[in-house]
Structures are given as C-alpha cells and as structure tokens.
Amino acid sequence: MADVPEDPTAIEELDLLLQTATIAHESIFEIRRELIASDQGNPEQAQLLEESARIATVELPGLSATARRLSAKWRDQVLIDAEGAAKTLAELKSELARIKVDAESLLDRQLEIAARMDSMGRQ
C-alpha cells in the first residue's frame, strides 16, 4: 500500500492559490468602496474592480478546474484507496506545474489592480 501524506503540499498550494485570489479581490473591493465613500470614485475603478472579480470568479477557477477536480478526487481516495490517491496526487502536482505561470500572471494582475486603485486614493 502506498504511503500518502494526510495533507499534501499540492493540496495546500491549490487552496492557497484560490484563497489568495479571493483575498486580493476583497481588498480591491474595499479600496474601491473607500474611494467612493471619499467621493473619489470613477469609471476606471469600476472597470478594474470588474477585472479583479473576473480573475477571482471566472479565470482562475477555469484555469484550476482540473486541479480542483483532482484535489476532490484525492480527498475521496485517500481514505479508501491509498494507491489511487498517490496516483491522483502525482497528477495534481503535474497539473499545478502546468498552470503555475498562468495562475501567477493572474495574481500579479490583481496586485497591479490593487496598486493602481490605491494610487487613485492618493491623487
């Protein structure tokens, strides 16, 4: 029987990736809300907020769909099929490596959006 870790790094990486995008979007939303409250809102901010939302709710989930499916499969298998879980974990690691550059690019874009929105409050 294969030895499968209880909480593999690949699962943690996937969870962190999705959480990071969500937290980044929430921060961008708060910056936008504060700009509106201080009467500094503008249409560009609305577009940037929409782009951030699209990254967090459409683009990243779409990009990570296979990895999320493999993660769920691993969670089911780990209790009843250690060998299958080990194979699934290897597939997940491969999938995370495949999407890494694109996922990092999306997260970098969210950082750019946050920086741009933040700079609007200091103008």
In a domain, 104, yes or no: yes
Yes or no: say if 88 and 73 are a contact pair by the CB < 8 Å rule.
yes
In a domain, 63, yes or no: yes
pLDDT over 70 (residue 2):
no
In a domain, 1, yes or no: no
Torsion angle in degrees (nearest 10) through CA of 96, 10, 105, 118: 160
In a domain, 81, yes or no: yes
Burial class from Cβ neighbours inside 10 Å (0-12, 13-18, 19+) for residue 55 reads: buried
In a domain, 4, yes or no: no
In a domain, 3, yes or no: no
- Percent of the chain at pLDDT above 70? 93
The pLDDT value given to residue 121: 80
The pLDDT value given to residue 3: 58
For 87-108, how does the pLDDT look when each residue is reduced to its tens digit (9 = 90+)?
Answer: 999 999 999 999 999 999 999 9
* Domain limits for position 85: 9-30+38-120
* pTM of the predicted model over 0.85: yes
5 pLDDT tier (thresholds 50, 70, 90): low
The CA distance from 46 to 42, in Å, is 7
| Total of domains in the chain | 1
In a domain, 46, yes or no: yes
56 pLDDT tier (thresholds 50, 70, 90): very high
- Element holding 3 (H helix, E strand): none
Question: How many residues in the chain?
Answer: 123
Angle between helical axes of 82-120 and 9-37 (0-180°, round to 10)? 20
